[in-house]
Amino acid sequence: MLNLTKFLGYVAEHNPNEPEFLQAVTEVVEDLIPYINNHHQDYETLKILERIAEPERVVSFRVTWLDDNNVIQVNRGYRVQMNSAIGPYKGGLRFSPTVNLSILKFLAFEQVFKNSLTGLPIGGGKGGSDFNPKGKSDMEIMRFCQSFMTELYRHIGAETDVPAGDIGVGGREIGYLYGQYKRIQNNFTGVLTGKGVHWGGSYIRPEATGYGLLYFVSCVLDNNNDTLEGKTIAISGAGNVAYYAAEKAILLGAKVITLSNSSGTLYDEDGFTLEKLHHLATLGRDIQEFTKKYKSATFYAEQKPWQFKCDIALPCATQNELDKNDAEILVENGCICVAEGANMPSTAEAVKVFHAAKIVYAPGKAANAGGVAVSGLEMSQNAIGQQWNTQKVDSQLKAIMENIHRTCIRYGKEECGYINYLRGANIGGFIKVAEAMKAQGVV
Ligand code: NDP
């Protein structure tokens, strides 16, 4: 029989100084070990858990580039190729000074389960660099991306590993990365997703994570005979995921009261409208400026959105941004659902608070899988040389999110009727990968 404490001791010993990775593994194996002991004891002998917690490959490399003053800059690039049992490695690239191996391993590990949940044939990976894109000129961003790809290109491929965007990597960066890949390889292929719609990209990819999150929340509410109409929603972040989550929430009749970034939180007592959102998008990171035009809004410097009373909380910024104290305030204020647009935004203690209060907690690996799902659809379109229209991609995205929701219920419904979405997502995402690893032998 597998023992949780013993297994976590093993992972901690093999991955010293990697707290985020250990946190992600703990959150998953707490559900998997009892399940394996009850249903799949052969996985113990096959060392499925030891293998799934060990990246198949980790590449780390030097990225040297010239800034606008012709000064040489040196950063570190990474690609973590976690698991390819069910398809090519797939997962975003993050450019942020906070990037380190622990964070990329946690993200790659989560990605394995998330990608499996989409039902598409994609394995898990993640990459990025400690490069800080903030305050850099367009040319500096381009030179950095070109240098980064000059090493990365040898480790990726349309049927090997297909990176996409993440924090600090949007359409512009994907463009520069793709241009350099094509220049080196002389090959127009689907090696990256998140490409522009005129050069191999998919409609709805920029919107997919945020829209998918709201489709998932709609399923959650529908399961309780409820809808988004009139619900008050607090969102953190003001980037790709937060923006499109807010847009879809407004379109579905909810009232979005907050958006935020690392400088603070914008609270609008009247709720954001589409017009207000468009204005916010023109302000860049200076979200405080918003209050000059809209008097219903107040900016709270250095504060998080979770103090404001809401029915639904959507953390869409970064890992561990919502702690135990925030979770307690949300529960006290009557929040009925926390659904994660970001990856692991709730600390382990916060998740315990949600579960104890029996409110809905939808983990990122299920709730934010819409982004990678449409990336998977972009790969399919590239492979057959076609481009599907907005309606077709959007309806497939919706169907995938509904399917993930069904999987969570299937594996996460407790005897009392409470749905433990985390357990449902962990077990539902794991089974397919474990069976593929078993079938493929000791590799
Ligand atoms: P972006 O870079 O577009 O936006 C990130 C946003 O989060 C920015 O507003 C940023 O503010 C804010 N933020 C970052 N760190 C902090 C912090 N410590 N405190 C408060 N705000 C912070 O990234 P994305 O929207 O693409 O990604 C957001 C999250 O969603 C990440 O966890 C990512 O892994 C996850 N995700 C993204 C997917 C995608 O398709 N893009 C898919 C699935 C998950 P500032 O500018 O001030 O730093």
Separation of CA 209 and ligand 1 centre (Å): 11
Which CATH number do you get for residue 304?
3.40.50.720
Kindly give, in sequence order, each residue whose CB lies less than 8 Å from that of residue 383, ignoring residues fewer than 6 positions away. Answer: 158, 190
| 381 C-beta closer than 6 A to ligand 1 | no
302 found inside a domain: yes
Q: For residue 343, what are its two tokens?
A: 């990856």
Catalytic residue numbers?
126
147 and 281 both lie in a single domain? no
Position 197 in a domain:
no
One domain for residues 110 and 236: no
Burial of 384 (0-12, 13-18, 19+ CB in 10 A): exposed
Nearest Cα residue to atom 3 of ligand 1: 239
Condensed to tens digits (0 to 9), the pLDDT of residues 246-302 reads 999 999 999 999 999 999 999 999 999 999 999 999 999 999 999 999 999 999 999
> Do 212 and 294 sit in the same domain of this protein?
yes
Give pLDDT tens digits along the chain (443 positions): 999 999 999 999 999 999 999 999 999 999 999 999 999 999 999 999 999 999 999 999 999 999 999 999 999 999 999 999 999 999 999 999 999 999 999 999 999 999 999 999 999 999 999 999 999 999 999 999 999 999 999 999 999 999 999 999 999 999 999 999 999 999 999 999 999 999 999 999 999 999 999 999 999 999 999 999 999 999 999 999 999 999 999 999 999 999 999 999 999 999 999 999 999 999 999 999 999 999 999 999 999 999 999 999 999 999 999 999 999 999 999 999 999 999 999 999 999 999 999 999 999 999 999 999 999 999 999 999 999 999 999 999 999 999 999 999 999 999 999 999 999 999 999 999 999 999 999 99
Q: Measure Cα distances from 138 to 145, 219, 322 in Å.
A: 11, 41, 33
- Residue 111 in any domain: the answer is yes
Which residue has the least CA distance to atom 28 on ligand 1? 317
Residues 97 and 242 in one domain: no
User: 175-183 long-range contacts, Cβ below 8 Å, gap at least 24?
Assistant: 176/141, 176/142, 176/145, 176/146, 176/149, 177/93, 177/145, 177/148, 177/149, 177/152, 179/146, 180/145, 180/146, 180/149, 180/150, 180/153, 181/149, 181/153, 181/156
Structural domain for 79, as ranges: 57-185
Our mutation pick for probing the ligand 1 site, out of 204, 241, 368, counting the most ligand atoms within 8 A of Cβ, is 241
Cβ contacts of 193-197, under 8 Å, gap ≥ 24: 193/90, 193/162, 193/163, 193/164, 193/375, 193/378, 193/379, 194/164, 194/165, 194/170, 194/375, 194/378, 195/378, 196/171, 197/387
